[in-house]
Amino acid sequence: MRDMQDDDTKSPAPPPAAAAAARRAAGQAAPDASALRDRFAKLAQADTPEAATDAAAAAAADDEVTRIRALIDEMRPTFRRDGGDIELVRVEGAKVIVHLSGACAGCMLAGQTLYGVQKRITDILGRPFRVIPDIRH
């Protein structure tokens, strides 16, 4: 019986519209809900381990692209000596897309050459990559 009496004496929370009207009557401004929501979202993103992991993954990917570009630039004199050239087009995950030009573009051994580039990149970076020629028309 005591529990029921306690429930009857408690006053329910005012509805949000009534609370806002009471704040306006008291001269207080209503809080900006969208600003609070945005601030909370930023705080939630900054504290999550996923945000730190995403930033670290992006930095690692940028480092890998830089290292791949340096490796291709290091191998470029060999290609030029044979009358061809190689350039990095883009890196998409584990795919390294390159453009072969000059004598390398029509060479029968281009597949073996790309395999050598692939093996070198894989050995240096320590994870498998696939080197794919970019076909430009």
For residue range 38-77, list pLDDT tens digits in order: 776 776 666 556 656 777 777 777 888 999 999 999 999 9
Q: How far apart are CA 125 and CA 105, in angstroms?
A: 26
pLDDT of residue 6 exceeding 60, the answer is no
Residue-averaged pLDDT of the chain: 79
Q: Please, what is the angle between helix 49-81 and helix 33-47, to 10°?
A: 60
What are the Cα distances from residue 85, in Å, to 72, 99, 105, 117?
10, 8, 8, 13
